[in-house]
Amino acid sequence: AQTVTQSQPEMSVQEAETVTLSCTYDTSESDYYLFWYKQPPSRQMILVIRQEAYKQQNATENRFSVNFQKAAKSFSLKISDSQLGDAAMYFCAYVEGASGTYKYIFGTGTRLKVLA
Amino acid sequence: DGGITQSPKYLFRKEGQNVTLSCEQNLNHDAMYWYRQDPGQGLRLIYYSQIVNDFQKGDIAEGYSVSREKKESFPLTVTSAQKNPTAFYLCASSFLTGGNQPQHFGDGTRLSIL
């Protein structure tokens, strides 16, 4: 069965600095997608970034980028120029491609604190 | 604007009572999902549905029931058999294209025991 592991329950970063959140996953599939979702104190789940497994190029969205290592089954999120509004829970998620069951597998989350 | 609406935002349950959480979407999504979130834990899948009148159990379906009579609606009933219902409940929806179109989430319902 597929699993998603976030080994860092909590991380802290100074405002304007860079932080990397780790995520590893286990699957025997070759066609899948990976996501990072942000959950601020409002509890709303917000999609941060998405990576297709068949793409070697790492996805980027403004200050957010990923380091996707397919062979190592690693999918880390880098936040550059951290802002106070980045403080939130961050969840890594996996879903199989078009032939899958469409069940998303979520990690247990990393709480990010941003220090002023 | 398209989106997912969950109601109510807060819900209280008395002992032995069934309560129903509403989830409606106008995104024309095929699939809908219910998750439970407890403090310090990730999202755990309760039920999901890929098509009207069909749904599958997730990882923690015991004590819960769902229906999917309309594409837009996927209500979740927390029955009296669920002995520890206090949690934050999230509804989500997506197209049936795997991760090509990601899940969208509602704002959640917080359920507490009176």
Read off the pLDDT of residues B13-34 as tens digits, 9 standing for 90 and up. Answer: 888 899 999 999 999 999 999 9
Whether the pLDDT of residue A99 is over 70: the answer is no
CB contact under 8 A, B98 and A44: no
Alpha-carbon distance A31 to A70, whole Å? 11
CB contact under 8 A, B102 and A33: yes
pLDDT range class, residue B40, cuts 50, 70, 90: confident
Mean pLDDT of B83-94: 93
Alpha-carbon distance A77 to A47, whole Å? 13
Could you report the per-residue pLDDT of A20-54, keeping only the tens digit for each?
A: 999 999 998 888 899 999 999 988 999 999 999 98
Whether the pLDDT of residue A83 is over 90: the answer is yes
CA of B96: how far to CAs of A95, A116, B9, B68, B77, in Å?
11, 42, 28, 16, 24
Whether the pLDDT of residue A85 is over 70: the answer is yes
Residues of A with CB under 8 A from a CB of B: 6, 9, 31-35, 42-45, 47, 50, 52, 91, 95-100, 102-104, 106-109
Give the nearest chain B residue to A44 (CA atoms).
Answer: B107
Alpha helices in B1-114 (DSSP H): none
Whether the pLDDT of residue B114 is over 90: the answer is no
A36-50, A99-113, B60-74 — which is least confidently predicted? A99-113
Name which of B100, B109, B91, B78 is nearest B15 in CA terms. Answer: B78
CB contact under 8 A, A108 and B42: yes
Name which of A2, A104, A36, A60 is nearest B97 in CA terms. Answer: A104
How far A7 CA sits from the closest chain B CA (Å)? 12
Find how far residue B16's CA is from the centre of its chain: 20
Give the nearest chain A residue to B96 (CA atoms).
Answer: A102
